[in-house]
Amino acid sequence: MVGRSLDSYRNIGVFDNGLLYFRAYGRHYSSDGYYYGQKWQCVEFIKRFYFDALGHRMPDVMGHAKDFFDPDISHRGYNARRDMIQFLNGGDEPPAPADLLVFRDTGYGHVAIVVSVDADRVEVIQQNIIGRPRQTFTLQRMNGAYSITSPRSPAGWLRVSSTKTAGPVSYDRNKGE
């Protein structure tokens, strides 16, 4: 049933989008007007989670899931559009709880939040994956590199950082706008 609560993480609910993953049910905003996204798409959950649970406003509120990861930004670089530090899958930084996983392997991509990490697996919570709000991925560590490998591989993950010093700012505001 569309709009039904399926799960939650840090008191932020995940809602059912029904069988048609491409269908949205109107725009969703915070009480102060911050745009979360289209109900009950994966991006809407991500932005609602970061805003409501962590007090994080993303400067660029638009874009499909795959747009959250900028392939032109280096490992540990600053993603200004999301005001987050970006890590490459296969780099020297493992994912951590509350990180944003970004998959760019489909037309619109997909985003999920890391819930837990252990030696060989990563659990995520996500919205708009028909009846599967939680999913486990394989985490491999080899030669100091961390890779999420199956059942699918993300481009990488993003992390909120109050220092913004993990890398150079490489976002060009004029690019693609």
Show which residues are catalytic. Answer: 42
User: What letter represents residue 66's amino acid?
Assistant: K
In whole angstroms, give the CA distance from residue 98 to residue 105.
22
Query: Residues for the chain: how many in total?
Result: 177
In whole angstroms, give the CA distance from residue 151 to residue 94.
17
